[in-house]
Amino acid sequence: MSESLSPAAYPRRTCLAIVLAAGQGTRMRSRLPKALHQVAGRSMLAAVLAAVSGAGADHVVVVVGPDHDALAAEARKVMPDVGIAVQADRRGTAHAVLAAREAIAAGFDDILVAFADTPLVRTDTFSKMRVALACGETAVVCLGFEARDPTGYGRLVMKDGVLDAIREDRDASDEERKLTLCNAGLMGIAGRSALQLLDAIGCENSQREYYLSDIVAAARALKLAACALIAPAEEVMGVNDRVQLAAAEAATQARLRSQAMLGGATLVDPASVTFAYDTALGQDVVVEPSVVFGPGVVVAAGARVRAFSHLEGTSVGENAIVGPFARLRPGTRLAEGARIGNFVETKAAEVGAGAKINHLSYVGDASVGAKANVGAGTITCNYDGFGKHRTQIGAGAFIGSNTLLVAPVAVGEGAIVGAGTVVTEDVAADALALARAQLAQKPGWAARFRKKKGG
């Protein structure tokens, strides 16, 4: 919760957040529900749930359609105690909010209404809406924005600096259509008045739907105040199709890149770096061009991630080096000063301090001890067709190039494995392991072969 909502400023206020996710999303042209499409490595629904939770929501209800079990499952995955309400008939946004009637009636001080397809709204914006409600002078807070082209948006109609009405575009007069202050759709409602206001909304409009935007007129009729808060247009961007999804991704990436650089990381070519929503970079981290961070990556101070690398579910220790062209899959943990080189793939691998896996290797389901050296072309054979098995490489061990480590197997500390060896049993500490067929030579054979073939 923001500092402006701390107990020092206001008495403890309870909050219900209602996230509307019942839209069909036909313009996405997808078998996946619209709100499950991802921005920066998480679903839009998850992004909205995180934002309202950060603003201090004590309880969240997600409103879904009757055929949207996948949305309900995603909501519960992100927030196990979330409430699910079903809007059986789609009759407008106010009708959708009232699908959560039972939760509304529970008596929360503040009610936030958010949309699962509006993923860029910041926690701080929701907090500001709560602050406006906490002042006690308004029953409805509407989030608005200035539109370059207001066509299709509901207009916020102001009178003497006060929000007088929200007029849907299709129902607006010619004069009202000239207004550029538009409705973003998100609302804050005083809990004490919420059901009275929502039940007062009618459907006397061209679509015969119950518009949440009519709550302002309902408030005015009941002598209750409404106000507008203005947010940047980009922040309240809705996503209805793949073009808008790409725009939301671009806006989120710009935000994340800026946060990373202001936090002390160097991005050599910022526009080419892709972040996940939770990527964490320490001070003096250097990220070279065309790096992709999937969810769950933490990079400690002083590390360098070289070009064209892909990291997901990974922690990188201080002063470690990754790449170029490296792939670090979930469960990879690099200790301080570890090095992962070009065309190396790791998965569920613990790599000790100062250890090196520099070239063309796959190390999966493994632990590599401090200062061990894994030569080019080394493969941990971790899968037998039924299950995964671990490989252990001790501190200071040296694994020669083109070695196959058939798990489960362990190489002791300080051991040396000769190039080209297939290791099928444990190697003792400080031992040399070498498995290589004896080289046979046949003098003159190559010349006779070429003559026979006419070469």
Instruction: Give the CA count within 13 Å in the CB-facing half-sphere of 451.
Output: 5
The answer to whether 267 and 284 have CB atoms below 8 angstroms apart is: no
The answer to whether 235 and 247 have CB atoms below 8 angstroms apart is: no
Residue numbers in the chain where pLDDT is lower than 70: 1-11, 206, 455
**Total residue length of the chain:** 455
Instruction: Note the pTM of the prediction, 2 decimals.
Output: 0.91
Output the pLDDT for position 1.
Answer: 36
Q: How far is CA 102 from CA 79, 111, 424, in A?
A: 19, 13, 63
Output the pLDDT for position 396.
Answer: 98
Instruction: Quote the CA–CA distance of 412 and 430 in Å, as a whole number.
Output: 7
Output the pLDDT for position 7.
Answer: 38
Instruction: Quote the CA–CA distance of 166 and 31 in Å, as a whole number.
Output: 34
Catalytic annotation, residues: 359
Transcribe 54-81 into DSSP letters: HTT-SEEEEEE-TT-HHHHHHHHHH-TT
Chain-wide mean pLDDT for the chain?
94
Q: pLDDT, tens digit, for every residue of 236-264?
A: 999 999 999 999 999 999 999 999 999 99
Instruction: Quote the CA–CA distance of 436 and 195 in Å, as a whole number.
Output: 80
Unique residue bearing structure tokens 């909205």: 48
